[in-house]
Chains A and B, each alone.
Chain A
Amino acid sequence: QQQVKQSPQSLIVQKGGIPIINCAYENTAFDYFPWYQQFPGKGPALLIAIRPDVSEKKEGRFTISFNKSAKQFSLHIMDSQPGDSATYFCAASPVQSSASKIIFGSGTRLSIRP
């Protein structure tokens, strides 16, 4: 079964809007929650990540909100730009080590309209 559930599958937002992508997980052994951004023809690239000991992390226009009790986390993109159009993957990794495998969500194809 899918360990990290991501929604929506696709999202269209006007420039300047705030797209929100949501993810949920079940496994309490997950200890690291990264978001990856993928442009067409490229591999996923780490965008921002959070550990469960904080409820929010902000890097530039990108913010992760984390709700440990609900086992949910989300990505917000402030002042979205057409260049943000990409596929976004949430992910989670167990606590064993920093070299552990990453479990990905199914991805959200985001399109920012000019």
Chain B
Amino acid sequence: GESVGLHLPTLSVQEGDNSIINCAYSNSASDYFIWYKQESGKGPQFIIDIRSNMDKRQGQRVTVLLNKTVKHLSLQIAATQPGDSAVYFCADPRPEGQNFVFGPGTRLSVLP
């Protein structure tokens, strides 16, 4: 079936450095992606989304890049802070014949 998946289950970065979390998807028809952040013991929260007519979208300290050729997207967090420590999921809300498909998540740890 269709899937989305992250490349690394865990990522550790020094406070102040930039973080890059990657995600690959399999459905060529997917045209909309969402990144979620989940802090320990809480529900996921929307961070940023991107549509397939864009290859880059920026938010506050976050940037999502979409490469449709290789079916890959990434979430970049600038100047990573301790509050960024969480699990990050990419999600495809519109794969054909299915509802939201979530990747397994990448746990980001920010080192002091």
Q: Do the two chains belong together in a single complex?
A: no
